[in-house]
């Protein structure tokens, strides 16, 4: 019997290492890049063929580095036979026009999933700023500011709402979809910073952490040897580092 990680590794290897690729997905460090996680996880979970192109963050030179493959000089960026799509939301919609399962089939679930994803895409700035994405670290940044607690309350409401309305275990029904990919970075943030959630939302976060694609991303993030000083300092802030689960560094 294969573990979920073994299944994900097989799926990921089969998708990433084919001789002919439909897509190239440009991402940055898996330990730091929450925006990269979204389309990567969606492609991996849905088994859509892609070639991963990882370009690591460099202090003070990301724009010049990323401009070579992305018109906005940011990650993620999708290349499809010479055509370029940038921004995680645009990438997801581009994929949705070409592959089933990106959004839920049910019209109400689909509209809710799009609304929640758009809210995540444009909002929750307090949480993003105070708890930057850092997969391997465990931090204590309490007491949390009121604005961060407000963001977490809204996220708990959204997660509980989606699961209650559409039956779970995923946010918009019985199958993984783009809305789960959009909130995946928050799931990792909750793990890294010990963030408080309502009980139903905490159960969803635990469920997501067990998913094969999430575990594969996490294991690969822990294996990255590169440390980028600005991201490290941003995650720590004025808090305390409790543990670092990365393998080397």
Give the mean pLDDT of 51-58: 94
Rounded CA-CA distance 178/96 in Å is 9
Rounded CA-CA distance 205/184 in Å is 9
Q: Is the pLDDT of residue 13 over 70?
A: no
pLDDT in the model for residue 158: 98
Give the mean pLDDT of 99-108: 98
Q: Are 229 and 59 in contact (CB under 8 A)?
A: yes
Rounded CA-CA distance 100/188 in Å is 26
Report residue 157 CA to chain centroid gap.
19
DSSP bridge pairs for 52: 25
Rounded CA-CA distance 76/94 in Å is 13
Rounded CA-CA distance 216/41 in Å is 9
Structure tokens at 192: 């890294």
Long-range contacts of 104-107 (CB under 8 A, 24+ apart): 104/166, 104/172, 104/173, 104/175, 104/177, 106/166, 106/173
Where does the pLDDT of residue 20 fall: very low under 50, low under 70, confident under 90, or very high at 90 and above? low
Q: Is the pLDDT of residue 19 over 90?
A: no
Where does the pLDDT of residue 4 fall: very low under 50, low under 70, confident under 90, or very high at 90 and above? very low
Total-model pTM: 0.91
Q: Is the pLDDT of residue 197 over 90?
A: yes
Give the mean pLDDT of 185-209: 98
Give the mean pLDDT of 151-166: 98
CB atoms within 10 A of CB 218: 20
Where does the pLDDT of residue 170 fall: very low under 50, low under 70, confident under 90, or very high at 90 and above? very high
Give the mean pLDDT of 58-76: 87
Give the mean pLDDT of 83-101: 98
Q: Where are the alpha helices (DSSP H) in 54-177?
A: 62-66, 88-96, 107-122, 125-130, 146-166
pLDDT in the model for residue 11: 45
- Quick one: CA dihedral 48, 8, 31, 138, positive or negative? positive
Give the mean pLDDT of 156-165: 98
Q: For the chain, what is the mean pLDDT?
A: 92
Structure tokens at 43: 């492609």
């Amino acid at each position: 019997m294969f573990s979920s990680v073994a299944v994900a590794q097989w799926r990921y290897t089969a998708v990433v290492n084919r001789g002919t690729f439909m897509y190239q997905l440009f991402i940055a460090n898996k330990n730091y890049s929450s925006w990269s996680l979204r389309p990567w996880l969606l492609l991996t979970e849905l088994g859509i063929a892609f070639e991963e192109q990882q370009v690591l963050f460099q202090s003070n030179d990301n724009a010049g580095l990323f401009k070579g493959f992305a018109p906005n000089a940011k990650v993620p960026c999708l290349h499809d036979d010479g055509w370029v799509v940038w921004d995680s939301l645009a990438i997801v919609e581009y994929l949705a026009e070409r592959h089933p399962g990106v959004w839920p089939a049910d019209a109400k679930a689909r509209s809710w999933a799009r609304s929640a994803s758009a809210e995540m895409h444009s909002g929750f700035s307090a949480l993003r700023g105070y708890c930057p994405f850092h997969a391997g670290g465990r931090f204590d940044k309490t007491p949390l500011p009121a604005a961060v607690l407000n963001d977490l309350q809204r996220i708990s409401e959204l997660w509980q709402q989606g699961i209650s309305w559409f039956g779970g275990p995923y946010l918009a029904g019985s199958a993984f979809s783009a809305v789960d990919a959009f909130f995946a970075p928050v799931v990792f943030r909750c793990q890294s910073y010990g963030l408080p959630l309502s009980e139903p939302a905490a159960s969803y976060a635990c469920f997501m952490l067990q998913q094969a694609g999430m575990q594969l991303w996490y294991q690969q993030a822990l294996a990255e040897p590169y440390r980028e000083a600005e991201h490290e300092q941003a995650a720590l802030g004025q808090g305390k580092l409790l543990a670092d689960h990365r393998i080397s560094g």
